Amino acid sequence: MPKRGKKYKEALNKIDENKEYDFSEALQLALDSSYTKFDESVDVAVRLGVDPRHANQMVRGTVVLPNGTGKAVRVLVFAKGEKEKEAQDAGADFVGNDDLIEKIKGGWLDFDKAVATPDVMGAVGKIGKLLGPRGLMPNAKSGTVAFDVARAVRELKAGKIDFRVEKAGIVHTSIGKVSFGVGKLRENLASFFDTIIRLKPVSSKGVYLKDIAISTTMGPSVKVDPVHVKTMVK
């Protein structure tokens, strides 16, 4: 068990570890427990009643958070011809094709998200071993392989996140910053859970939303009672 500092222990004392709160209470406790000088991210972790070992129980999706993530996202676009200008006009930070592929082969990875048009994916696939492990490989399921590059870029810049269930059945993602306040974070959570609920696999039986916890980057986690999800989403 890692040794915790004084400030962490003080923050932990504000939370009843045996209680499951509603979302507003949990968010407020998480924000009140933030003790760092920087604007921490606020994360949510959800344990789902699925078995990711089975393909028909894999939960994976994307959602554009209404208030964004609070992070500046550097978007790279692999494209050619008129699609390059389309990407630039939409606000992409880096646009190109073979030149960018060669640059990445040389070790450059100073971007956060990558988009590609389907016609260049053959070339992009050659650097899949470099992009894949870092979560940077364009993927049709997450909307980052598309001819409508302008839309893909705008959504990523606006705060689109993608998520997938891990081996233990847990989905973990950031839903904003401490500076957002409870209201904006709650709106982001509502959009996230609306998507999670819609993605429930038909083959998933029993309780779907098993456990929920909210935390800041450095702070303790706060448990949430899953029964409050439907009310929040409405």
**DSSP string across 15-40:** S-TT--B-HHHHHHHHHHT--SSS--
Residues whose CB falls within 8 Å of the CB of residue 135, separated by 6 or more in sequence, listed in order: none
Domain range summary for the chain, segments of one domain joined by +: 18-69+160-233, 75-157
Mean pLDDT of all residues belonging to the chain: 93
Residues 159, 191 contacting (CB under 8 angstroms):
no
Q: Would you state the pLDDT for residue 14?
A: 78
Average pLDDT over residues 136-165: 94
Residue 169 pLDDT class (50, 70, 90 cuts): very high
Residues 182, 34 contacting (CB under 8 angstroms):
no
How would DSSP label each residue in 35-75?
-SSS--EEEEEEEES--TTSGGG--EEEEE-TT--SS---E
pTM here?
A: 0.85
Residue 205 pLDDT class (50, 70, 90 cuts): confident
The span from the CA of 44 to the CA of 51, in Å, is 20
CATH of domain 75-157: 3.40.50.790
In this predicted structure, the answer to whether residue 110 has a pLDDT above a threshold of 90 is yes
Is 18-69+160-233's fold the same as 75-157's? no
CATH-assigned architecture of domain 18-69+160-233: 2-Layer Sandwich (3.30)
The span from the CA of 139 to the CA of 180, in Å, is 30
Question: For residue 9, what are the CA distances in angstroms to 31, 33, 78, 216, 218?
Answer: 15, 10, 47, 14, 11
In this predicted structure, the answer to whether residue 1 has a pLDDT above a threshold of 60 is no
The span from the CA of 22 to the CA of 33, in Å, is 16
Q: Is 99 helix (H, G, I), strand (E, B) or coil?
A: helix
In this predicted structure, the answer to whether residue 20 has a pLDDT above a threshold of 60 is yes
The helix or strand, by DSSP H or E, that contains position 10, with its residue range, turns out to be: helix 6-12
Residues 156, 115 contacting (CB under 8 angstroms):
yes
In this predicted structure, the answer to whether residue 35 has a pLDDT above a threshold of 80 is yes
The helix or strand, by DSSP H or E, that contains position 174, with its residue range, turns out to be: strand 170-177
Q: Is 81 helix (H, G, I), strand (E, B) or coil?
A: coil
Residue 17 pLDDT class (50, 70, 90 cuts): confident
In this predicted structure, the answer to whether residue 2 has a pLDDT above a threshold of 70 is no
Q: Would you state the pLDDT for residue 3?
A: 63
